[in-house]
Amino acid sequence: MMKHGTGGQEGAIGFFERWLSLWVFLCIGAGVALGELFPALIRFLGSMEIAKVNIPVGLLIWVMIVPMLMKIDFKVLNDVRRHWRGIGVTLFINWLVKPFSMALLGWFFIRYLFASWLPPGQIDSYIAGLILLAAAPCTAMVFVWSHLVKGDPLFTLTQVALNDIIMVFAFAPIVGALLGLSSITVPWDTLMISVASYIVAPVIIAQAWRAKALAHPHGMAYLALTIKTLHPFSLFALLATLVLLFGFQGNALLKSPAIILLLAIPILLQVFFNAGLAYWLNRFFRSDHSVAGPSALIGASNFFELAVAAAISLYGFQSGAALATVVGVLVEVPVMLLVVQVVNRTKNWYESVI
């Protein structure tokens, strides 16, 4: 009976994952609908934040990533050195390609191609929002994408930690240079609280839980069972996060659909460009597929909490910059799931030269 029950759970989760894109779009619709039908509830949940970091979303992210972080064995931390090529590629994409390619796409599409369809007074502000979005690499959600492409969790954690360290020193100079500002106000509280809540705290929880599981008489088998048991909650938390995010931002989507569509085009192009370039470079340098997958996803995704907070502090809540960063929130999960599918379906092609 136990064996049959476990197989049934695995089958249900397998079915759930196969149709994940469908559930994502259903959650998008549910989020927008909840925002319209229960605006007071959504506003209340949205107001539960510290330094622009939403507490309900933060807790859901813990549920998402703690099972994935439990797989990390810090005793083999030295092994990550063999992935130096993947780390080099990701750092190159995140800090030397992504912000500048986004600036180029923003200037071309927003200032020239779409200028006649956008409010003239907000053109510069829209471009600023896109640049702020691209200058901050993603943190917590990367663990979800890495898991879905069977990425190396130790590589993913190391890469995220490196990006966070670099972000402290490079975010302001890069944004300032691209926006032509002599100085910018970096929302340090948002940056530090996000790193502490999305990285440090979940790692501590996961490693404490891992140690407790390994102390069980059956050790590794019990740990594997624990992670498998938590896996469905991780997926459900991903979808609940999506419902909340679209509930929070659904009003903007319904209020300015044409502007959001136009702003989404350069964001989507930079995601596909940076993900594709990172994936190809890793293949060129013969990195393992378990490194290339998360490398491509880290190279393409954005730390939208920091971008939104910086846009609001620099340009105001009602600015075009704030709206542009919100568009990044709206497209993040669906487009990253598409990249996940491409990475998984091209594994044989990728490994044909490894």
Model pLDDT for residues 261-307, shown as the tens digit of each residue: 999 999 999 999 999 999 999 999 999 999 999 999 998 888 877 78
Residue located via tokens 């994409």: 93
CATH number assigned to the domain comprising residue 33: 1.20.1530.20
The answer to whether the beta carbons of residues 341 and 145 sit under 8 Å apart is no
Q: What confidence score (pLDDT) does residue 328 get? A: 84
Mean pLDDT of 79-102: 90
Strands, E assignment, the chain: 49-50, 53-54
What domain range includes position 211? 2-351
Least trusted range by pLDDT, from 18-32, 121-135, 255-269, 271-285: 18-32
pLDDT value of position 240: 87
Characterize 331-340 residue by residue with b for buried, 16 or more Cβ atoms within 10 angstroms of its Cβ, and e for exposed.
Answer: bbbebbbbbb
pLDDT of residue 3: 41
Q: How far apart are CA 249 and CA 245, in angstroms?
A: 6
The answer on pLDDT for 134 being more than 70 is yes
Instruction: Pull the structure tokens for residue 182.
Output: 């002599």
pLDDT range class, residue 235, cuts 50, 70, 90:
confident
Q: What is the pLDDT of residues 148-170, one digit of tens each?
A: 899 998 898 888 888 888 887 88
pLDDT of 12 higher than 70? no
pLDDT confidence of residue 27: 85
Distance CA 302, CA 319 (A): 20
Q: Looking at the predicted structure, is the pLDDT value of residue 43 above 50?
A: yes
258 torsion bin: left (phi>0), alpha (psi -120 to 50), beta (else): alpha
Distance CA 260, CA 249 (A): 11
Share of the chain above pLDDT 90, in %: 30
Residue type, 151: G
| Mean pLDDT to the nearest integer, 103-121 | 91
Residue 343 is encoded by which pair of tokens? 């990475």
- Distance, CA of 22 to chain centre: 19
Per residue in 188-202, pLDDT (tens digit) is 777 778 778 777 888
Residue 343 clears pLDDT 90, i.e. is over it: yes
Burial 210-246 (b: 16+ CB within 10 A, else e): beebeeeeeeeeebeebbeebbeebbebbbbbbbbbb
Q: Calculate the dihedral angle through the C-alpha atoms of 221, 225, 227, 231, rounding to the nearest 10 degrees.
A: 150
Average of pLDDT values for 331-350? 90
Buried b (16+ CB within 10 A) or exposed e, 272-296: ebbbebbbebbbeeebbbbbbbbbb
d(CA 138, CA 126) in angstroms, rounded, equals 20
Backbone angles phi, psi at 50, to 5 degrees: -125, 120
Reported as a pLDDT band with limits 50, 70 and 90, residue 6 is very low
- Domain count of the fold of the chain: 1
Is pLDDT above 60 for 2? no
pLDDT value of residue 17: 61
**pTM of the full predicted structure?**
0.80
pLDDT band at 19 (very low <50, low <70, confident <90, very high): low
Q: Identify the bridge partners of residue 53 per DSSP, sorted by sequence position.
A: 50
- Over pLDDT 70: what percentage of the chain? 90
- Asked whether the predicted pLDDT for residue 80 surpasses 80, the reply is no
Residue 305 has a pLDDT of 73
What average pLDDT is seen over the chain?
84
Q: Give the integer Cα–Cα distance in Å for 279 and 346.
A: 10
Extract the tokens encoding 26. Answer: 């259903």
Q: What is the amino acid identity at position 39?
A: P
The rounded distance, in Å, linking the Cα atoms of 57 and 49 is: 9
Q: Is the pLDDT assigned to residue 5 strictly greater than 80?
A: no
